[in-house]
Each structure stands twice: as C-alpha cells, then as structure tokens.
C-alpha cells in the first residue's frame, strides 16, 4: 500500500526538475519506506545519486532556484535553496551494492507525469541491518512487519498465456 507523498509543492518541483533532466537518482532510507506504507517517521528525505558530478544535477536544480553544494572540510555534500531543505544526499548505502545494481530493486512511485525511483522495502531493511546503528535498530521490527504486510497483500501475478504458433489459414 503506497502512502501519500510527503512533499510540498516546491519539493515536488525540485524532484520533477531532476526527473525531467533524466538525472539518475533514487529515494532511500526511511522516507522511501514511508512512501511504501511503512509506519515510520523521519525528518528528511535521502536522495542517492548515481554520479554527483553530473552537470545535469546542477542545471536541473538551478531551474527551481536550488543548488548542489559540494563537500568541504566540515560539511558533507548537500542541496540548498528553494525546495531543498527536506533533502539530504546519501553517498553510499551500507550492505548494498553500487547504485546501478540497486536501481533494479526500486519501485516506481508516480510523481506527476514522471516515475520516482524509490528503493524497495526489502533493500532498505538489508541496509538498516548492515548499518546496525542504534536509530536503525529501533526501526528494524517495524520495517520487517511492513515488508511482511505489503508482501501478503500483493495481488497474485497474472498467468501468461503460452505462446501459440499462428493459426494456419487455408486459401
């Protein structure tokens, strides 16, 4: 069961700009779990980009009054400006493979005319288990329950009709 998207209009504009620019990214962490119906709370939305150096990111952000701020000695990379306050940049996900291999474990969540890539509950749980931080241990049982519930309510897969050779017609 998908939950309503937790975004304000300015945040939707930011995400849409990234999607229109064909920037490869996904939503990860507890916000991704929430978007799939898990009853968890988080303060931010974690975005994982395939290539942070992609110029399309900065160009897309500029169209909505936001910017990519590269890391410095004391600060991690981040987004700043209009609609960017909610978003954090994730550089890696504990226990998971590289971005490209995890992309196939995403679910598509509609965002206007686009599809937002959201890391699956199963992979979020794998990452939380691997990270093993105190705050992650607090959510593991809830994520397991949500995964069990969402798996139990999925409709059965449709049976495919076997491929049949074309009918022969007589002249």
The CATH number that applies at residue 79 is 3.30.460.40
Q: What average pLDDT does range 108-126 have in this prediction?
A: 95
Residue-wise pLDDT tens digits, 127-149: 999 999 998 899 999 999 998 88
Residue 68: predicted pLDDT: 96
Burial of residue 167, with CB atoms counted within 10 A of its CB: 0-12 exposed, 13-18 middle, 19 or more buried? exposed
Q: Are 100 and 93 in contact (CB under 8 A)?
A: no
The total of structural domains in the chain comes to: 1
Within a domain: 169: no
Query: Residue 70's domain spans which residues?
Result: 9-152
Task: Write out pLDDT tens, residues 91-110.
Answer: 999 999 999 999 999 999 99
Round to whole Å and give the CA distance between 15 and 63. Answer: 11
> Does the structure show a pLDDT above 80 at 151?
no
Q: Tell whether 158 is covered by a domain.
A: no
The reported pTM is 0.84
- Report the alpha-carbon distance of residue 6 to residue 74 in Å, rounded: 29
Q: Would you say residue 158 has pLDDT above 80?
A: no
Whether residue 21 is contained in a domain is answered as yes
pLDDT digits (tens, 9 = 90+) for 34-67: 999 999 988 899 999 999 989 999 999 999 999 9
Residues near 82 by beta carbon (within 8 Å), at least 6 away in sequence: 10, 14, 64, 65, 66
């Amino acid at each position: 069961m998908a939950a309503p998207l937790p975004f304000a209009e300015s945040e939707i504009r930011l995400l849409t700009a990234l999607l229109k620019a064909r920037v490869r990214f996904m939503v990860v962490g507890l916000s991704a779990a929430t978007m799939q119906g898990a009853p968890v709370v988080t303060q931010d939305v974690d975005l994982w980009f395939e290539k942070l150096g992609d110029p399309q990111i900065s160009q897309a952000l500029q169209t909505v009054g936001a910017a990519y701020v590269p890391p410095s000695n004391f600060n991690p990379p981040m987004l700043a400006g209009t609609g960017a306050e909610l978003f954090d940049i994730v550089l890696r996900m504990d226990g998971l493979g590289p971005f490209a291999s995890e992309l196939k474990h995403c679910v598509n969540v509609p965002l206007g005319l686009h599809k937002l890539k959201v890391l699956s509950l199963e992979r979020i749980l794998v990452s939380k288990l691997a990270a093993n931080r105190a705050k992650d241990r607090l959510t593991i049982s809830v994520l397991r329950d949500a995964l069990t519930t969402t798996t139990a309510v999925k409709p059965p897969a449709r049976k495919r009709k076997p491929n049949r050779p074309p009918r022969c017609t007589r002249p």
